[in-house]
């Protein structure tokens, strides 16, 4: 038994890896700022010891051979990190730990891209699981089929990772995915994001190129042919490239797309040999079909049949916080979604339009990421929210990070939406936002809560408000 201590254990990936190690019989502890569900519940249910708040003195109580995992949100000045450095303790990053402890010796599939990574990784892992391959995996969320975001693979098995381009740790500014030893690499899409570490799209593309240089010549690089940045980063790759998408140039193409019976139906044609197969996916939205295409290419590379893929689709339950239905109350559907980039926000709202035709769509958006709290995407956020009939923009998370000239203006976003005929408000307080929603929502509405954070407990407040309406 080994001892692992996670500084910043409440992050989704940190908690998931901690749980996987705990399940293997290792002693696992960690610390973080006060946590909220689902991660607090996730750790507690698995009996993982967690401390709220950081205490440098705690480091001295750990066994001398402990492996201390430093989360990528942890920076200098953190009392536990400072103690680790002073005491010359052994430390590593989560990404390095994953590559060394969980992936080494496995056939590695890495799903990269600005959007869709978590869903595609979950789907790929489930297709392999349903085909009997028992993969290990790391997902930046909680897949409903597995109930956990990370699991070990059997020796010599397959490991599926969500390959994040964000930096690794305060001491390693390389992207996380360079640690994941890819045999099969998926480049799903490439857009500008993570404005706190990248200055422009070219820097992001450079990181993706470094990642693809790691794929061996007997591996596979799967690339979204409809994304010109993705195609650009794969242009000089050494490993074989397979493209997928909706366009005619794709090696693996989805066509004849229809949505009925709660499923997306589409035909996949491989132009290299003319093979075709008709799939049905229990998810709405063209972006989910694109996610499925990426997963199809990845698992076909390991010999999984189309029939087995369809069986996996049939039983796939999705990912928490990805178009997750929280409640159906008083004829109103409440959706929770992780969308935090304007592209993801637009695609999610468009998919909800498709899934709930004829119903009024109410979008609630929390500008929280390092990119959307800045005014870089001011116009794009307004355009995305314009897909909805009603929109409310919440408070900017940690606005002190940027000057007023650099910050997103929720008021200007709301003004733009009203100019387009939408009912829209900027409301920084979650309680006030929910009270306003109580005045404007009506039976048949679909409320989409879009945030990669807590959103001021709006998810529970909305449900409480609707329940009170029912009992009144």
- pLDDT-derived band of residue 418, with 50, 70 and 90 as boundaries? very high
> What's the CA gap between 313 and 302, in Å, rounded?
17
Average pLDDT over every residue of 53-78: 96
DSSP conformation class of 98? I
Picking from 428, 7, 372, the residue whose alpha carbon sits closest to that of residue 191 is 372
Average pLDDT over every residue of 24-32: 96
Neighbouring CB atoms inside 10 A of 29's CB total: 19
Picking from 395, 372, 450, 384, the residue whose alpha carbon sits closest to that of residue 196 is 372
Domains 3-89 and 324-471 share a fold: no
Q: What kind and span of H or E run contains 325? A: strand 324-329
Strand order in the sheet with 67-70: 49-52, 27-32, 3-7, 67-70, 91-93
Where do the domains of the chain lie? 3-89, 96-315, 324-471
Return the SS3 of 223: strand
Summarize pLDDT for 201-242 with one digit per residue, the tens.
Answer: 999 999 999 999 999 999 999 999 999 999 999 998 999 999
Mean pLDDT, the chain, whole residue set: 92
pLDDT at 437: 94
- pLDDT-derived band of residue 472, with 50, 70 and 90 as boundaries? low
Token reading at 387: 């897909």
pLDDT at 404: 81
467: left (phi over 0), alpha (psi -120 to 50) or beta: alpha
Summarize pLDDT for 281-320 with one digit per residue, the tens.
Answer: 998 888 899 999 999 999 999 999 999 999 999 999 988 7
pLDDT at 406: 84
Contact call for residues 163 and 180 (beta carbons, < 8 A) = yes
Token reading at 134: 């028992």
**Domain covering 3-89: architecture:** 3-Layer(aba) Sandwich (3.40)
Which single residue is written with the structure tokens 């796939």?
316
Picking from 96, 216, 109, the residue whose alpha carbon sits closest to that of residue 153 is 109
> What's the CA gap between 32 and 15, in Å, rounded?
11
Which single residue is written with the structure tokens 């689902």?
38
Picking from 229, 343, 243, 327, the residue whose alpha carbon sits closest to that of residue 285 is 343
- pLDDT-derived band of residue 162, with 50, 70 and 90 as boundaries? very high
pTM: 0.84
Contact call for residues 94 and 5 (beta carbons, < 8 A) = no
> What's the CA gap between 65 and 287, in Å, rounded?
46
Whether residue 378 is predicted with pLDDT greater than 90 in this model: the reply is no
pLDDT at 272: 94
Contact call for residues 166 and 117 (beta carbons, < 8 A) = no
pLDDT at 224: 98
Average pLDDT over every residue of 133-151: 91
Neighbouring CB atoms inside 10 A of 215's CB total: 23
- pLDDT-derived band of residue 123, with 50, 70 and 90 as boundaries? very high
Q: Which CATH superfamily is domain 96-315 in?
A: Mur-like, catalytic domain (3.40.1190.10)
Average pLDDT over every residue of 446-458: 89
Whether residue 92 is predicted with pLDDT greater than 80 in this model: the reply is yes
Whether residue 389 is predicted with pLDDT greater than 90 in this model: the reply is yes
Contact call for residues 388 and 448 (beta carbons, < 8 A) = yes
Total count of residues recorded for the chain: 472
Whether residue 168 is predicted with pLDDT greater than 70 in this model: the reply is yes
CB hemisphere CA count around 411 (13 angstroms): 2
Q: Which of 159-163, 185-189, 362-366, 369-373 has the lowest mean pLDDT?
A: 369-373
Contact call for residues 117 and 176 (beta carbons, < 8 A) = no
Strand 172-175, strand 150-151: pairing: unpaired
pLDDT at 428: 92
> What's the CA gap between 341 and 119, in Å, rounded?
15
Contact call for residues 93 and 38 (beta carbons, < 8 A) = no
Residue by residue, DSSP assigns 403-466 as: -TTTB--HHHHHHHHHHTT-EEEE---HHHHHHHHHHH--TT-EEEEE-SS-GGGHHHHHHHHH
**Domain covering 324-471: architecture:** Alpha-Beta Complex (3.90)
Summarize pLDDT for 101-112 with one digit per residue, the tens.
Answer: 999 999 999 999
Whether residue 324 is predicted with pLDDT greater than 80 in this model: the reply is yes
């Amino acid at each position: 038994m080994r001892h692992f201590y996670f500084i910043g254990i409440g992050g989704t990936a940190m908690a998931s890896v901690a749980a996987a190690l705990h399940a293997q019989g290792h002693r696992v502890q960690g610390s973080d700022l006060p946590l909220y569900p689902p991660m607090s519940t996730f750790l507690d249910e698995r009996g993982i010891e967690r401390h709220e708040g950081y205490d440098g003195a705690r480091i001295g109580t750990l066994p001398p051979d402990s492996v201390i995992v430093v989360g990528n949100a942890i920076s200098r000045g953190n009392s536990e990190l400072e103690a680790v450095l002073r005491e010359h303790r052994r430390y590593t990053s989560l990404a390095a730990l994953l590559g060394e402890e969980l992936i080494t010796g496995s056939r590695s599939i890495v799903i990269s891209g600005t959007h869709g990574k978590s869903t595609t990784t979950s789907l790929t892992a489930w297709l392999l699981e349903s085909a009997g391959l028992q993969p290990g995996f790391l997902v930046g969320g909680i897949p409903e089929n597995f109930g956990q975001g990370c699991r070990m693979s059997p020796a010599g098995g397959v490991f599926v990772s969500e390959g994040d381009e964000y930096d690794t740790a305060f001491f390693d500014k390389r992207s996380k995915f360079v640690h994941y030893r890819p045999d099969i690499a998926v480049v799903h899409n490439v857009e500008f994001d993570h404005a706190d570490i990248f200055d422009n799209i070219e820097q992001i593309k450079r990181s993706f190129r470094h990642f693809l240089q790691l794929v061996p010549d007997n591996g596979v690089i799967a690339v979204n042919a409809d994304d010109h940045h993705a195609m650009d980063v794969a242009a000089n790759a050494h490993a074989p490239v397979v493209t997928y998408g909706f366009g005619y140039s794709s090696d693996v193409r989805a066509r004849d797309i229809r949505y009925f019976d709660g499923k997306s139906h589409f035909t996949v044609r491989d132009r290299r040999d003319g093979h075709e197969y008709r799939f049905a996916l229990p998810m709405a939205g063209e972006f989910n079909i694109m996610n499925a295409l990426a997963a199809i290419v990845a698992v076909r590379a390991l010999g999984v049949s189309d029939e087995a893929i369809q069986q996996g689709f049939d039983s796939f339950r999705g990912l928490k916080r990805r178009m997750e239905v929280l409640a159906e109350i008083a004829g109103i559907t409440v959706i929770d979604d992780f969308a935090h980039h304007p592209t993801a926000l637009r695609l999610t709202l468009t998919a909800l339009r498709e899934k709930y035709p004829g119903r009024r769509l109410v979008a609630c958006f929390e500008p929280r990421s390092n990119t959307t709290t800045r005014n870089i995407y001011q116009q794009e956020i307004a355009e995305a929210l314009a897909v909805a009939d009603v929109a409310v923009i919440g408070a900017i998370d940690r606005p002190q990070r940027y000057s007023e000239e650099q910050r997103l203006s929720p008021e200007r976003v709301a003004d733009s939406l009203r100019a387009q005929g939408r009912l829209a408000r900027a409301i920084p307080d979650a309680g006030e936002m929910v009270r306003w929603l109580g005045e404007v929502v009506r039976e048949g509405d679909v409320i989409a809560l879009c945030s990669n954070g807590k959103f001021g407990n709006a998810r529970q407040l909305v449900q409480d408000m609707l329940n009170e309406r029912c009992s009144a």
